[in-house]
């Protein structure tokens, strides 16, 4: 393989990072002009790599590197990740898992190497939930789990998902029947294997370039609206206030203290706003997000039960009301041992440790795990392992090694589950 695969991956990630919703950083929210430009660029790179490409009803870019024509009834091995980002995010989260296989397919195609199965790369249009506060939106369509009620959900500007999709005008966009029809038939799949930047410091601290994921932590997201009474900041005595923001602050501290009780449990309030607040008005309302995750579903569910009860008791004590909206939770997703072992075998062949680690971050593979066996290859994250931050980085050497390992994996892949 050409030693420039790694550098090409980094160059492609830099090129995509120029399509952004913001001036001095990378934000790529679902169906914005930057998102559409990213999607168009992915189509072009997949076509240049020798793939047949289509865009489905939610905006996923799906490229197929067709199987060796001599193989009858080939299965589909699927890979991919998301191309949307968080606000002011990193350029590798999600995108690495699209760009790396594109570069790999390009190299296979140039070398005239066909595979005994169809190899599909999916650029998932939306995973982060930034615009519509969704969870695994694009992979839920592919997995046949799309919640049609989401079409009526509005973004911060009051634009519904239905209208945003309609304006994008993909074939079938905003048509529930087309969104249903975009689901893949699980019987056609041999599995789903996602490459992703680790987004944490484990591989970095152990001096390892690559790792194999054992499971992906389940997660639950909520939007909480606390209502109190807006009143004058100068005239309302402290003991007569119904301050929604101080109530939300106490609820935030409850999330922190409850989630600190169990090592694998994490809880985050990432958005906290006083809508239409003024410096001289006691907050009459406060809205905040909650993201709660754990490696075991029971631990997460027990924490959620305690936190939701605690929120109501804090609200009652302070004369507030709290309304909680729950985004569909995603359960812990175990990776398939037979796929992990095939990844491990190619790592060992290269003299690398087949190191296994769980993922605390969510991934499209979680949703795909509902319909097929999944595995994930993690690539070392630089800069102390920081992610969801512009400082997120990988090296060209690690990208090269990941690409070469992925080539080995594809060339040795056997769908019959015997290792
Ligand atoms: O939030 C997550 O774990 C993912 O990056 N969307
Ligand atoms: Mn992310
Ligand atoms: Mn990601």
Query: Where in the chain are the domains?
Result: 5-217+332-412, 218-326
Q: How confident is the model at residue 55, as a pLDDT?
A: 96
HEC per residue, the chain: CCCCHHHHHHHHHHHHHCCCCCCCCECCCCCCHHHHHHHHHHHHHHHHCCCEEEECCCCCEEEEECCCCCCCCCCEEEEEEECCCCCCECCCCCCHHHHHHHHHHHHHHHCCCCCCCEEEEEEECCCCCCCCCCCCHHHHHHCCCCCHHHHHCECCCCCEHHHHHHHHCCCCCCCHHHHHHCCCCHHHEEEEEEEEECCCCHHHHHCCCEEEEEEECEEEEEEEEEECCCEECCCCCHHHCCCHHHHHHHHHHHHHHHHCCCCCCEEECCCEECCCCCCCEECCEEEEEEEEEECCHHHHHHHHHHHHHHHHHHHHHCCCEEEEEEEEEECCEECCHHHHHHHHHHHHHCCCCCCEEEECCCCHHHHHCCCCCEEEEEECCCHHHCCCCCCCCCCHHHHHHHHHHHHHHHHHCCCCCCC
Ligand located closest to 81 CA: 3
Among protein residues, the one whose CA lies closest to atom 4 of ligand 1: 362
Among protein residues, the one whose CA lies closest to atom 2 of ligand 1: 362
> Is there an atom of ligand 1 within 6 Å of 128 CB?
yes
**Topology adopted by domain 218-326:** Alpha-Beta Plaits (3.30.70)
Q: What's the 217 CA to ligand 2 centre distance in angstroms?
A: 14
Q: For residue 106, say whether it is annotated as part of any ligand binding site.
A: no
> Is there an atom of ligand 1 within 6 Å of 21 CB?
no
Q: How confident is the model at residue 174, as a pLDDT?
A: 79
Q: How confident is the model at residue 418, as a pLDDT?
A: 52
Ligand located closest to 137 CA: 1
Q: Helices 96-110 & 396-412, crossing angle to 10 degrees?
A: 60
> Is there an atom of ligand 1 within 6 Å of 361 CB?
yes
Superfamily of domain 5-217+332-412: Zn peptidases (3.40.630.10)
Around ion ligand 2, which residues have CB less than 5 A away?
93
Q: How confident is the model at residue 135, as a pLDDT?
A: 84
Q: What does pLDDT average to in each consecutive run of 10 residues of the chain (419 residues)?
A: 85 98 97 98 98 97 98 97 98 98 98 98 97 94 96 96 91 85 97 98 98 97 97 98 98 98 96 97 98 97 98 98 92 97 98 97 98 98 97 98 98 78
Q: What's the 198 CA to ligand 2 centre distance in angstroms?
A: 10
Measure the CA–CA gap between 153 and 146, rounded to whole angstroms.
Answer: 13
Atom of ligand 1 nearest to the CA of 128: 6
Q: How confident is the model at residue 2, as a pLDDT?
A: 58
Q: For residue 276, say whether it is annotated as part of any ligand binding site.
A: no
Q: What's the 147 CA to ligand 3 centre distance in angstroms?
A: 21
> Is there an atom of ligand 1 within 6 Å of 97 CB?
no
Q: How confident is the model at residue 416, as a pLDDT?
A: 73
Q: What's the 269 CA to ligand 3 centre distance in angstroms?
A: 19
Q: What's the 128 CA to ligand 1 centre distance in angstroms?
A: 6
Q: For residue 388, say whether it is annotated as part of any ligand binding site.
A: yes
């Amino acid at each position: 393989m050409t030693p420039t695969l790694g550098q090409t991956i980094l160059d492609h990630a830099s090129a995509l990072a120029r399509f952004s919703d913001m001036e001095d950083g990378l934000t790529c929210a679902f169906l914005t002009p930057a998102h559409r430009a990213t999607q168009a660029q992915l189509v072009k790179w997949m076509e240049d790599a020798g793939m047949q490409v289509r865009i489905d009803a939610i905006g996923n870019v799906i490229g197929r590197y067709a199987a060796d024509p001599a193989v009858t009834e080939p299965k589909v091995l699927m890979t991919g990740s998301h191309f949307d980002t968080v606000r002011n995010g990193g350029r590798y989260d999600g995108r690495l898992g699209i760009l790396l296989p594109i570069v790999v397919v390009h190299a296979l195609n140039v070398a005239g190497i066909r595979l005994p199965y169809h190899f599909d790369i999916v650029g998932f249009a939306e995973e982060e939930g930034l615009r519509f506060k969704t969870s695994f939106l694009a992979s839920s369509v592919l997995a046949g789990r799309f919640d049609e009620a989401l079409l009526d959900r509005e973004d911060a500007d009051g634009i519904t998902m239905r209208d945003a999709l309609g304006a994008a005008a993909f074939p079938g966009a905003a048509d529930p029947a087309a969104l249903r029809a975009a689901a893949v038939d699980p019987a056609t799949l041999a599995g789903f294997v996602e490459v992703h930047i680790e987004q944490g410091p484990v591989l970095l601290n152990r001096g390892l370039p690559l790792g194999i994921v054992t499971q992906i932590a389940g997660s639950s997201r909520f939007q909480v609206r606390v209502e109190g009474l807006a009143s004058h900041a100068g005239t309302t005595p402290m003991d007569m206030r119904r301050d929604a923001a101080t109530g939300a602050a106490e609820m935030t501290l409850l999330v922190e203290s409850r989630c600190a009780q169990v090592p694998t449990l994490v809880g985050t309030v990432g958005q906290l706003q006083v809508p239409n607040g003024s410096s001289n008005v006691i907050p009459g309302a406060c809205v905040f997000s909650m993201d709660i995750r754990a490696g075991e579903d029971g631990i997460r569910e027990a924490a959620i039960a305690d936190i939701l009860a605690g929120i109501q008791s804090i609200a009652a004590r302070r004369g507030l009301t709290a309304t909680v909206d729950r985004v569909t939770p995603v359960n812990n997703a175990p990776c398939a041992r037979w796929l992990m072992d095939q990844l491990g075998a190619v790592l060992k062949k290269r003299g690398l440790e087949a190191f296994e680690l769980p993922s605390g971050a969510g991934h499209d593979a979680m949703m795909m795990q509902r319909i097929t066996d999944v595995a994930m290859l993690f690539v070392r994250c630089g800069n102390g392992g920081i992610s969801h931050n512009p400082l997120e980085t990988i090296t060209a050497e690690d990208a090269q090694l990941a690409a070469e390992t992925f080539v080995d994996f594809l060339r040795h892949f056997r769908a019959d589950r015997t290792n």
